[in-house]
Structures are given as structure tokens and as C-alpha cells.
């Protein structure tokens, strides 16, 4: 059982390029989340999905979009990357939106130059 | 929104006890969480408090006072493997988590 997988592990991206970070979970969890983690700022919620077919905005959604076509996948897209989007991105899931434990993927380290 | 404060760094000796404090201001409270994150790895869940009082889980305990907007994580019998960042997080009425910046604990031999 893999849990949550993220791809790529790391990426260097030129500013202005489009990029999709992939996240897949095999736990049949209903809720999924995208966070970014920056030194000194901690984890900040970008977007979330409480169930397949629904999405919502978190604390820092600008410049990012998500979709939730099925239970397992929750891709995060940067339409036109900017250097301030350099960060470590974590995908997470929980069985339900009100479950107390979130399970995190291994993260994607993104550098925008 | 949430405003969550915790110390940046703490150092302790192997076998000792360390207490990590977390204070928060919230517009809606639906639980306080502690996560552990080793360097270069993903966060992992440690504890959850929604009512006032102490929750004990092995060497780790977490305390909550909702009226004071205060929590602490107590790590007992410290081991070298406990060197990590400890993240305090508050959940709002929409079940969204807000995290503090994290406390890096270094355990010395």
C-alpha cells in the first residue's frame, strides 16, 4: 500500500511556464488537501476538496488551481509560475473532512527561476 | 483566520523532558493538533485535543486550555530520534487546518 504519492519529487521551472503537480492516494479517502511549506511560515493551505467533484480555496489560492475528477487524484496546477511559488508542496488526505488525522505525501520541491 | 505562535527552536538533553508551548487566536475553534516533521520528510500526526485537559500517548502528552487559547506538547524521556520540528495546528469550523511555523527540537547526547 503506497498511501499518498506525489510527482515529481523535485522540479526546476522557468518563470511563466505551466506546471501540474500530481497527487494520488490509494486509501479511498474522501478529503484531500494541498499545502505549501516555506521556511519561517509553516504549512499553508492552498486548496482543498472534501469529496470528489468539489473543491475549495484555502489561505493562499492565488496562482493555483485544482480539480477532483475522482476520489484518488488531486492535481495542483500553476498556470504561469512565478519565483514566489518556489516552495515545498505537500499533498494530504483524510478519510473525511472532519477526521482528525491527515496523511501527508512525501512532498514536491519546486524551484521557479 | 488563525494566529498561531510557538517558539522557533528548543534544545534538550537525551532522557530529559521538553515542553513546547503554542498559543492561538481563532475566529472559530474545532480542535488543536500536533504534528511531527523530521527534516526533509512529511509531517506525521501526533495528537488531537478538542476538550480542555491532558491527552497522554506514550512518551508524548498534549494539553489544551480553550479559554486561554493555549496548548503544549510534552515530550518525556527524550531520545535522539525525537529531534524534529513539531507543528501546532488549529482547525476551524470549516475543518480547515492552520499551522504554526513549527518548533525545531534538537536532542543532545
In chain B, residues with a C-beta closer than 8 Å to the C-beta of A106 are 41-42
Minimum distance, in Å, between the CA of residue B10 and any CA atom of chain A: 15
Give the whole-angstrom CA distance, residue A49 versus residue A34: 9
What is the predicted pLDDT for the residue at A106? 97
Is B42 within 8 Å of A48 when comparing Cβ atoms? no
How do residues A14-73 score in pLDDT, each as one tens digit?
999 999 999 999 999 999 999 999 988 889 999 999 999 999 999 999 999 999 999 999
Q: What is the pLDDT of residue A15?
A: 98
Other CB atoms closer than 10 Å to residue B94's CB: what's the count?
Answer: 12
Q: How many CA atoms lie within 13 A of A100 on its CB side?
A: 12
Q: Given pLDDT bands bounded at 50, 70 and 90, which one contains residue A1?
A: low
The pLDDT value recorded for residue A17 is 98
Q: pLDDT below 70 — which residues of chain B?
A: 1
pLDDT above 70 (res A93): yes
Distances (CA, A) of A47 to A27, A103, B17, B108: 20, 16, 37, 39
Distance from CA of A80 to the nearest CA of B (A): 26
A104 reaches B (C-beta below 8 A): yes
**Cβ atoms of residues B69 and B25 within 8 Å:** yes
| pLDDT tens, position by position, A74-86 | 999 999 999 999 9
Q: What is residue A23's predicted lDDT score, i.e. its pLDDT?
A: 98
Q: Among residues of chain B, what percentage have pLDDT more than 70?
A: 99
Q: Rounded to whole angstroms, how far apart are CA atoms A83 and A29?
A: 32
Q: What pLDDT does residue B26 have?
A: 84
Amino acid at each position: 500500500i503506497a498511501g499518498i504519492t506525489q510527482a515529481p519529487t523535485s522540479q526546476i521551472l522557468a518563470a511563466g511556464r505551466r506546471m501540474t503537480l500530481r497527487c494520488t492516494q490509494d486509501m479511498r479517502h474522501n478529503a484531500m488537501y494541498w499545502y505549501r511549506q516555506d521556511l519561517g511560515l509553516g504549512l499553508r493551505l492552498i486548496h482543498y476538496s472534501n469529496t470528489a467533484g468539489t473543491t475549495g480555496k484555502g489561505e493562499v489560492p492565488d496562482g493555483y488551481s485544482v480539480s477532483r475528477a475522482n476520489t484518488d487524484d488531486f492535481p495542483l496546477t500553476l498556470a504561469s509560475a512565478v519565483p514566489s511559488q518556489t516552495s515545498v508542496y505537500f499533498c494530504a488526505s483524510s478519510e473525511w473532512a472532519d477526521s482528525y488525522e491527515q496523511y501527508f505525501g512525501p512532498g514536491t520541491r519546486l524551484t521557479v527561476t | 483566520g488563525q494566529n498561531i505562535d510557538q517558539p522557533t527552536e528548543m534544545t534538550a538533553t537525551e532522557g530529559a523532558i521538553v515542553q513546547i508551548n503554542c498559543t492561538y487566536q481563532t475566529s472559530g475553534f474545532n480542535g488543536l493538533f500536533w504534528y511531527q516533521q523530521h527534516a526533509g520528510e512529511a509531517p506525521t500526526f501526533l495528537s488531537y485535543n478538542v476538550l480542555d485537559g491532558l491527552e497522554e500517548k506514550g512518551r508524548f502528552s498534549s494539553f489544551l486550555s480553550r479559554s486561554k487559547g493555549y496548548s503544549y506538547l510534552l515530550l518525556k524521556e527524550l531520545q535522539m530520534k525525537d529531534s524534529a520540528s513539531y507543528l501546532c495546528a488549529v482547525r476551524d469550523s470549516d475543518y480547515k487546518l492552520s499551522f504554526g511555523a513549527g518548533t525545531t527540537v534538537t536532542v543532545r547526547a
